[in-house]
């Protein structure tokens, strides 16, 4: 595994921006057309208290200012992988990948019956969670966090599915942009005290979309999903190899 101060991947980007998407409602347009000056972004895995605290501060800021409570699960649990994106020394995005284990997944709290259906079918589940992104951040940052999480979940650990809890207002975003499908009716997400639906994404589907569109960026034609902003299949192979050998 990479060490905290090492970088999994760095890239420069002046692509159209994405505002943060999480369970809470957003009053802003998530597909902002503003363009930032070119910046260098680094994607890192968190191992130190300093980076963990920076990620937690961003989560509290993006969730808390709308009055939502904060997910109480511990990021020190062994089945959590915390990723951050930073630029110019500032943490601007974070997400946590939860890997199914004896302690279960955060979504078990509200959708245990639905997750157990998949487990009984032999599916191996993981859950992207605690997504928080600062305003005016390029789409490629969001796509990179998702792609690195996919590499850990699918390529390195062999998980087969992602499940996520999202606000019903945001469900269509994840369906259109990443290919998630409905898997659980609306319930109250007790961790943030807000309505949520359960969505599922087969990681073999994501693999196919990456092979088809990854790395195309603005040359994606009519494709409207986030997959053109993912790394190319060749880059994915290199990232996977570095993560497997602990070299970044």
Q: Is the pLDDT of residue 136 over 70?
A: yes
Kindly state whether residue 2 falls inside one of the protein's structural domains. Answer: no
As a whole number of angstroms, the distance between CA 129 and CA 149 comes to 11
How much is the pTM? 0.84
Instruction: Find the CATH number of the domain harbouring 237.
Output: 3.40.630.30
Burial class (CB in 10 A: 0-12, 13-18, 19+), 98: buried
Q: pLDDT tens digit string along 153-178?
A: 999 999 999 999 998 988 999 999 99
Q: Is the pLDDT of residue 149 over 90?
A: yes
H helix runs in the chain, sequence order = 49-64, 108-120, 139-150, 171-178, 203-213, 233-245
Q: Please give the pLDDT value at position 35.
A: 42
Asked if 17 contacts 29 with a C-beta cutoff of 8 angstroms, the reply is: no
Task: Give the CA dihedral 110, 175, 237, 133, nearest 10 degrees.
Answer: -70
Range of the domain at 82: 9-243
Q: pLDDT tens digit string along 30-41?
A: 444 444 457 899
Q: Is the pLDDT of residue 98 over 60?
A: yes
* Confidence label for 222 from pLDDT (cuts 50, 70 and 90): confident
Mean pLDDT, range 128-142, rounded to an integer: 89
* Confidence label for 16 from pLDDT (cuts 50, 70 and 90): very low
Asked if 225 contacts 197 with a C-beta cutoff of 8 angstroms, the reply is: no
Based on its alpha-carbon atoms, the radius of gyration of the chain, rounded to whole angstroms, reads: 17
Q: Is the pLDDT of residue 247 over 90?
A: no
As a whole number of angstroms, the distance between CA 19 and CA 62 comes to 11
Count of domains in the chain?
1
User: How many CA atoms does the CB half-sphere of 4 hold within 13 Å?
Assistant: 10
* Confidence label for 92 from pLDDT (cuts 50, 70 and 90): very high
Length of the chain (residues):
248
Asked if 135 contacts 36 with a C-beta cutoff of 8 angstroms, the reply is: no
Angle formed at CA 134 by CA 242 and CA 80, multiple of 5 degrees: 45
Kindly state whether residue 157 falls inside one of the protein's structural domains. Answer: yes
Asked if 166 contacts 183 with a C-beta cutoff of 8 angstroms, the reply is: no
Look at strands 80-87 and 39-45 and give their pairing.
Answer: antiparallel
Q: Please give the pLDDT value at position 218.
A: 79
Q: Please give the pLDDT value at position 225.
A: 94
* Confidence label for 22 from pLDDT (cuts 50, 70 and 90): very low
Kindly state whether residue 71 falls inside one of the protein's structural domains. Answer: yes
Asked if 105 contacts 127 with a C-beta cutoff of 8 angstroms, the reply is: yes
* Confidence label for 211 from pLDDT (cuts 50, 70 and 90): very high
Kindly state whether residue 4 falls inside one of the protein's structural domains. Answer: no
Mean pLDDT, range 202-230, rounded to an integer: 93
Query: Distance of alpha carbon 181 from its chain centroid, rounded?
Result: 16
Beta-carbon contacts of residue 36 (< 8 Å; ≥ 6 apart)? 14, 17, 136, 137, 138
Q: Is the pLDDT of residue 28 over 70?
A: no
Kindly state whether residue 228 falls inside one of the protein's structural domains. Answer: yes
Which candidate, 40, 54, 46, places its Cα nearest to that of 1?
Answer: 46
């Amino acid at each position: 595994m990479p060490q905290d101060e090492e970088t999994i991947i760095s890239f420069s980007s002046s692509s159209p921006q994405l505002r943060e998407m999480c369970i809470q409602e957003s009053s802003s347009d998530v597909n902002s057309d503003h363009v930032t000056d070119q910046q260098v972004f680094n994607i890192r895995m968190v191992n130190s208290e300093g980076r963990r605290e920076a990620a937690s501060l961003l989560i509290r800021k993006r969730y808390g200012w709308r009055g939502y409570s904060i997910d109480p699960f511990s990021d020190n649990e062994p089945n959590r992988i915390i990723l951050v994106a930073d630029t110019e020394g500032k943490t601007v995005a974070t997400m946590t990948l939860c890997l199914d284990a004896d302690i279960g997944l955060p979504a078990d709290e509200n959708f245990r019956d639905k997750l157990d259906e998949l487990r009984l079918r032999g599916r191996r589940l993981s859950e992207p969670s605690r997504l928080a992104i600062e305003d005016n951040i390029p789409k490629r940052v969001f796509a990179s966090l998702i792609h690195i999480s996919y590499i850990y979940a699918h390529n390195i650990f062999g998980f087969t599915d992602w499940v996520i809890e999202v606000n019903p207002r945001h469900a269509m975003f994840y369906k259109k942009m990443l290919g998630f499908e409905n898997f659980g009716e609306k319930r109250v997400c007790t961790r943030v005290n807000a309505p949520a639906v359960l969505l599922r994404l087969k990681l073999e589907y994501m693999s196919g979309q990456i092979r088809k569109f990854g790395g195309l960026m603005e040359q994606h034609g009519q494709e409207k999903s986030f997959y053109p902003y993912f790394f190319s299949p060749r880059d994915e192979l290199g990232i996977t190899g570095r993560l497997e050998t602990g070299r970044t």
